[in-house]
Chain A
Amino acid sequence: MTSARPKIDFDAKIPNNVDLAGDRKLQRALERWQPNFLDWWGDMGPAVDTKDVYLRTAVDVGRDGWAHFDHVPMNEYRWGVFLSEHDPDRTIAFGEHKGEPVWQEVPGEYRADLQRLIVIQGDTEPASVEQQRFLGATAPSLYDMRNLFQVNVEEGRHLWAMVYLLHAYFGRAGREEADQLLARNSGSDDSPRILGAFNEETPDWLSFYMFTYFTDRDGKYQLGTLKESGFDPLSRTCEFMLKEEAHHMFVGTTGIDRVVRRTAELMQTHDTDEVAGAGGIPLTMIQKYINFHYTVSLDLFGNESSTNAANYFTAGIKGRWQEERRDDDHRLADDAGHVDAFRDGQITRNEVPALLALNQDLRHEYINDCKTGLKRWNRILQKAGIDAELYLPHVGFNRQVGAFAGAHITPDGKVVSESDWKARKDAWLPTELDKTHVRSLMHPVLEPGKIASWIAPPSTGINDKPVDFEYVHFH
């Protein structure tokens, strides 16, 4: 068969370690998909017009430098396809296939489940790009703008990674799903993104940092469980994605650091908690943003008790966080576990087979990880001599999914009436007024080395460059 479409020079355009140049099937699939991706990037990607941006491009997976830094025009970014290095001796670590060699092809029996897992993960990647589309226009510094775009191109690359799996291993059905990943859009009425949290807008930079701290961290944990998968290409893909995800969470962690630091400075300078008038974000408002982003991210872990998760585990396609470090039989067929429950107006726990408690298990790991950020931020406050502390709200607070959906629980874990909860809600979650205030602070600062009023400067630059480096060039 001949095709009228011009051939793409694959290895030059798409850095990869999957022998793209030698894989006709993949080439054909990508030839069709790549122009659609570029159209999508143009329509839904960063809306700010730049000349080039100092970006990291993944060019290899090797130990000595997998990333290459340079100023790149955004639309010439080279999205690549990388799998972490192949371990020929790897075996399945859990479930009923434990000990068997990992699969290099999709086992037909698990095709539908694996495809679903990949599609759900893949759907979140472009969603966050869409959610963050307009943020560049109000970046508090060139350094932050660069970080935003770095996150965006890497989420784009994560989409590529998932599309690679769909194209390479799932045949025609996979190609159709890959097309749908571009057809759904965050917040769209007709075809929204699959998961609720990815249809919320990211209207301001405080939300962006919160998103990269809390919601990208959900991504870290999902990828971590897929990294355990017996389907080796998925495992290797996710392992490599986790390296990039770490940077996204760094953006979130240090972003909130800097907001807290600036607020503390303003509190001391003006000797008041009410720093809004001084162009800052009050701690109470930061706490409300934490409350919101943390709780919607908790929802992403699904129901406490899940037969899907149990099936995925038994099948060997999705494991637990750090599966191999756990000292149990990795089959869990006869074990029991506990899940959170809400019964007769009481917060309680149910005993269930351990296999059914895997979502709770993962959420628990996530919660512990989230606490590290809170420690950091409270240390900043402490060093500044401020008494107040930030905290994570109770796991049952403001939940829409799982055992606590529909329950009315305060951030400190008390069960209250619906009317009571609603009456006090504005003290716990961002109000329109809060959001308006935060938005009012969002003015772009485009001069190298300068920073907006509501946030402290970063302590170091990117890739050993100074903070006042010209991270973004404009036309």
Chain B
Amino acid sequence: MTVLDEPVNETVAPERVPHVDFDTSPDRYRHWRFTVDGETATVYLDVDEGGGLVPGYELKLNSYDLGVDIELHDLTQRLRFEYPQVRSIVLTSGKDSNFCAGANIRMLAGSSHPWKVNFCKFTNETRNGIEDMSAAGQTWIAALNGTAAGGGYEMALACERILLVDDRSSAVSLPEVPLLGVLPGTGGLTRVIDKRRVRKDRADVFATKSEGFGGRKAVEWKLVDEAVARREWDRVVAERAEELKGDRPADAQGIALSPLARTEADDAITYDHVRVTIDRGARTATLVVAVPEMTDDPAALHEQGAAHPLLAITRELDDAILRLRTNELEIGTWLILTEGAVEHALAADRLIADHQDDWLVAETTRFLKRTLKRLDVTSRSLIALIEPGSCFAGPFLELALACDRQYMLEGTFEEAEDATLPSGAEATEPATLVVTNAQFGTFPMGNGLSRLESRFYGESLDDVPRDTPLTGADADDAGLVTDAPDDIDWTDEIRILLEERASLSPDALTGMEANHRFVGPETMETRIFGRLTAWQNWIFVRPNASGPEGALRKYGTGRKADFDQKRV
């Protein structure tokens, strides 16, 4: 986050909060550009000051808002799918004088609490995605050709190597605590100690020193890897880009991420395979993932590209999650359903299980992994409804396991009046689900465990029936579902459950669900989404940050914040 010397204006009024669209493409970027030279891409952050997503602030000093982050997210997807041959990615600034001043402070000070929280969550997800790319052979290198402050430095921290120009004035810093009274909350505090292994006393000095450190000291304290003199800069950056190249297939041919086909109505979003319907009265959204027939041949994926069902479903689901999360704050419960033959889902399962040596299959798998992780950190009650005609098998079973609860119909709907499947599907065979290899590590959660391991934490998974269709009763016995009511009970059980859920405190639910979803080991990721985010969100609602006399509001007014001095 950043240092700007203009007064902060009023909270962004509701009518000024836009309906956020995550669609973009390189020809539409306002804040980023990139070049690809053989196996190295160079990504330039070059923020358009007047290009803020919401009126009321200027994105000075390469500071960013959600719009800038949406483009970065799109850019990472392009590099993954359209430029698979790229092995190293240099992240640098398109401005002469500084790298990035972080999240725009006027934007932050003027934003509602949910907006701040959603913005930070999405930013965190993109940062984690950058690390996921490096692990997959597209290594990110931060080439800080000027000062990187706050969120700017946090962006660098997501890279595997940080080069800082040694010009006696450029520095890296985390000024949030001393200047703004909040935290470097998009991974900053965590990555400094977890990833860069900076000693905690030094981390403490660094995070309270608004101007930060540059040059030799920054290297000595491990805040950056190298401080490079101006005249050496281009050469060293190019050398590092060469040395740090990851492992990618030489003959990889990218596929185009064509625009998503999507129609939107007031209470519905419809894609080719994913349908969302919103019941505003009940405050629920129903997400139906329809899985069409597909082959397990990777050639089909290359041939169809973005139109291939597995990739298309993943893109649609990702987009739907982001839209609901950002634009539908009061829709507190999501019902997740699937539709299609179990055999279709199992074809996708085989494609994934047997062809990880194919870069596109592997990339699609990682994309689905990240999308499922979005569900894990979504602050909504997630309920899987497993009904006849569904295909919760293999990769698609992960959707159910990501949910807070799973309800599976035992048997079929016997009477037409009860057979109001939210999916609208007509089905005469009982629902079955299938546990496959996909539940055993293909899609780890942020805690490093599979969702199945998390579900049965500390217990043996030997008895979980694999590769066999399980009915409601079987799945209930195996502990894979919360309950398996039959058709007589189904309608009432689900209705009462949803009404009861809707009556509970949204905040308490968010906290409860976030705690239940992540068992076991802490990782850098869980610490960012758990500890760092929870503290940041607490600080965001405290008067010391957001009150009229708080540091966020007073910043840049020339007046000091008036703190409530009680330590809590």
Contacts and interface: CB of A to CB of B under 8 A. Distances in A.
Interface of A: 1, 24-25, 28, 105-109, 111-112, 169-172
A109 B495 CA distance: 11
Contacts of B492: 25, 105, 169-171
Interface string B142-164: 00000000000000000000000
25 contacts: A1-B411, A24-B414, A24-B488, A28-B488, A107-B499, A108-B496, A108-B497, A108-B498, A108-B499, A108-B500, A108-B501, A108-B502, A108-B503, A109-B499, A109-B503, A111-B496, A112-B500, A171-B485, A171-B492, A171-B493, A171-B496, A172-B483, A172-B485, A172-B489, A172-B493
Top 5 nearest A-B pairs by Cβ distance? A108-B499, A109-B503, A108-B500, A25-B488, A108-B496
B131 interface: no
A414 B486 CA distance: 61
Interface residues of B, number: 19
Nearest to A108: B499
Contacts of A106: 496
A171 B500 contact: no
A173 to B, nearest CB: 9
A1 B486 contact: yes
Contacts of A170: 492, 496
Contacts of B266: none
Contacts of A108: 495-503
B264 interface: no
Contacts of A107: 499
Contacts of A1: 411, 486
Contacts of B37: none
B415 interface: yes
B499 A171 contact: no
A25 B489 CA distance: 7
Contacts of B498: 108
A109 B486 contact: no
Interface in B478-530: 483, 485-486, 488-489, 492-493, 495-503
Contacts of B496: 106, 108, 111, 170-171
A322 B503 CA distance: 29
B489 A111 contact: no
A112 B493 CA distance: 13
A111 B497 CA distance: 9
A169 B501 CA distance: 17
A115 to B, nearest CB: 10
A170 B502 CA distance: 17
A375 B209 CA distance: 86
A272 to B, nearest CB: 65
B411 A111 contact: no
A104 to B, nearest CB: 12
Given A171-B492, A171-B493, A172-B493, A111 B485 contact: no
Contact of A171 (B411, B414, B489): B489
A172 B489 CA distance: 7
- Chain B CB within 10 Å, residue with most, of A109, A112, A171: A171
Nearest to B495: A108
Most chain-B CB neighbours within 10 Å: which of A1, A28, A170?
A: A1
Given A106-B496, A111-B499, A171-B492, 16 more contacts: A25-B489, A105-B492, A108-B496, A108-B497, A108-B498, A108-B502, A108-B503, A111-B496, A111-B500, A112-B500, A169-B492, A170-B492, A170-B496, A171-B489, A171-B493, A172-B485
B506 to A, nearest CB: 14
Greatest chain B CB density within 10 A among A28, A169, A170, A172 is at A172
A1 B472 CA distance: 13
A175 to B, nearest CB: 9
Nearest to A24: B488
A110 to B, nearest CB: 8
Contacts of A25: 488-489, 492
A106 B483 CA distance: 20
Nearest to B483: A172
A105 B491 CA distance: 12
Nearest to A112: B500
Q: Which of B485, B489, B496, B500 has the most CB of A within 10 A?
A: B496
B502 to A, nearest CB: 7
A109 B498 CA distance: 9
A464 B312 CA distance: 81
A262 B267 CA distance: 76
A109 B500 contact: yes
Contacts of B483: 172
Contacts of B488: 24-25, 28
A120 B501 CA distance: 24
A112 B414 CA distance: 29
B415 A24 contact: yes
Contacts of A112: 500
A177 to B, nearest CB: 14
A108 B501 CA distance: 8
Given A24-B415, A171-B496, A109 B489 contact: no
Nearest to A175: B489
A172 B488 CA distance: 10
Contacts of B497: 108
Nearest to B486: A1
B486 to A, nearest CB: 7
Contacts of A111: 496, 499-500
Contacts of A169: 492
A112 B496 CA distance: 10
Contacts of B415: 24
Contacts of A109: 499-500, 502-503
A24 B503 CA distance: 29
Contacts of A24: 414-415, 488
A245 to B, nearest CB: 29
Nearest to B492: A171
A25 B499 CA distance: 21
A230 to B, nearest CB: 14
Interface string B523-545: 00000000000000000000000
Nearest to B411: A1
Interface string B281-294: 00000000000000
A1 B502 CA distance: 33
B381 to A, nearest CB: 13
A165 to B, nearest CB: 13
A332 B376 CA distance: 44
B500 A105 contact: no
A36 to B, nearest CB: 19
- Residue among B415, B492, B500, B502 having the largest count of chain A Cβ atoms under 10 Å: B492
A331 B554 CA distance: 44
Nearest to A105: B495
Contacts of B503: 108-109
Contacts of B499: 107-109, 111
Nearest to B493: A171
A25 B502 CA distance: 25
Contacts of A172: 483, 485, 489, 493
A246 B443 CA distance: 66
Interface in B447-504: 483, 485-486, 488-489, 492-493, 495-503
A107 B415 CA distance: 24
B491 to A, nearest CB: 9
Interface string B405-421: 00000010011000000
A111 to B, nearest CB: 5
B163 to A, nearest CB: 57
A108 B502 CA distance: 8
A212 B414 CA distance: 47
* A109, A112, A170 interface centre (most CB from chain B within 10 Å): A109
A24 B487 CA distance: 10
Interface string B68-110: 0000000000000000000000000000000000000000000
Nearest to B496: A108
A214 to B, nearest CB: 37
A39 to B, nearest CB: 24
B488 to A, nearest CB: 4
